[in-house]
């Protein structure tokens, strides 16, 4: 674990230094955190400090914001797949209901007026309509449940990233930077 953390830190420091040298976004700005050196620190020193604070914030908050974003994207894909699965599960519900309704209708029609064919036709129609309604309702409930779970995941991820940003900011402020996010 320590070895991977050292490799991660080295990678972050190298990429942060390269980004700062190119004049592009710094590590902090990719996180929507704005950092100003209050004691005239060089950009290379700021990149090193940001990388160190990034590692410290990951360790102390328990959240890597880049990994959290990837997990959130994967969760969104899973939610979409679950919605599609629920939609596919309701396919054919009308036909299945029609068959069951026709069977029940034939029995009732034969008993009621000695016309199993008419009873089967009415039973098939009623069975198809009611099965489609139940399937559509079930599909809507499943989609609503998936949406609620996805909203909960998004809110939890946002809270975790917010806590990371607090830890990241505290570390940078201790190193004499002004930080806003």
Q: Report how far Cα 176 is from the mean position of its chain's Cα atoms.
A: 36
Cα–Cα distance between 80 and 150 in angstroms, integer? 10
Per the structure, how many domains does the chain have?
Answer: 2
Q: What is the model's pLDDT at position 167?
A: 97
Cα–Cα distance between 41 and 175 in angstroms, integer? 10
Whether the pLDDT of residue 72 is over 60: the answer is yes
Minimum mean pLDDT range among 9-23, 67-81, 116-130, 162-176: 9-23
In this structure, the answer to whether residues 92 and 108 fall within a common structural domain is yes
Question: In what helix (H) or strand (E) does residue 34 lie, and over which residues does it extend?
Answer: strand 34-37
In this structure, the answer to whether residues 54 and 26 fall within a common structural domain is yes
In this structure, the answer to whether residues 153 and 91 fall within a common structural domain is yes
In this structure, the answer to whether residues 152 and 85 fall within a common structural domain is yes
Cα–Cα distance between 87 and 44 in angstroms, integer? 54
Whether the pLDDT of residue 173 is over 90: the answer is yes
In this structure, the answer to whether residues 59 and 92 fall within a common structural domain is no
In this structure, the answer to whether residues 137 and 176 fall within a common structural domain is no
In this structure, the answer to whether residues 72 and 147 fall within a common structural domain is yes
Q: What is the model's pLDDT at position 79?
A: 84
Cα–Cα distance between 175 and 86 in angstroms, integer? 52
In this structure, the answer to whether residues 23 and 82 fall within a common structural domain is no
In this structure, the answer to whether residues 76 and 132 fall within a common structural domain is yes
Average pLDDT on 150-163 reads 92
In this structure, the answer to whether residues 81 and 55 fall within a common structural domain is no
Average pLDDT on 62-89 reads 85
Task: Tell me the chain's radius of gyration from C-alpha atoms.
Answer: 30
Q: Which domain holds residue 124?
A: 67-161
Question: In what helix (H) or strand (E) does residue 137 lie, and over which residues does it extend?
Answer: helix 116-174
Which is more confident, 48 or 116? Answer: 48
């Amino acid at each position: 674990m320590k070895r991977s953390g050292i490799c991660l830190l080295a990678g972050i420091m190298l990429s942060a230094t390269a980004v700062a040298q190119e004049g592009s976004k710094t590590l902090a700005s990719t996180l929507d955190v704005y950092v100003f050196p209050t004691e005239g620190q060089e950009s290379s020193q700021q990149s090193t400090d940001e990388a160190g604070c990034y590692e410290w914030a990951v360790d102390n908050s328990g959240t890597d914001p880049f990994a959290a974003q990837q997990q959130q994207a994967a969760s969104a894909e899973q939610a979409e797949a679950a919605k599609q699965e629920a939609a596919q599960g309701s396919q054919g519900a009308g036909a299945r209901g029609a068959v069951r309704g026709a069977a029940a209708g034939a029995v009732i029609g034969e008993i009621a007026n000695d016309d199993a064919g008419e009873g089967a036709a009415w039973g098939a129609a009623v069975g198809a309509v009611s099965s489609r309604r139940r399937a559509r309702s079930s599909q809507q409930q499943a989609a609503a449940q998936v949406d609620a779970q996805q909203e909960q995941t998004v809110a939890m991820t946002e809270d975790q990233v917010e806590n990371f940003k607090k830890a990241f900011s505290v570390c940078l402020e201790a190193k004499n930077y002004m930080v806003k996010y």
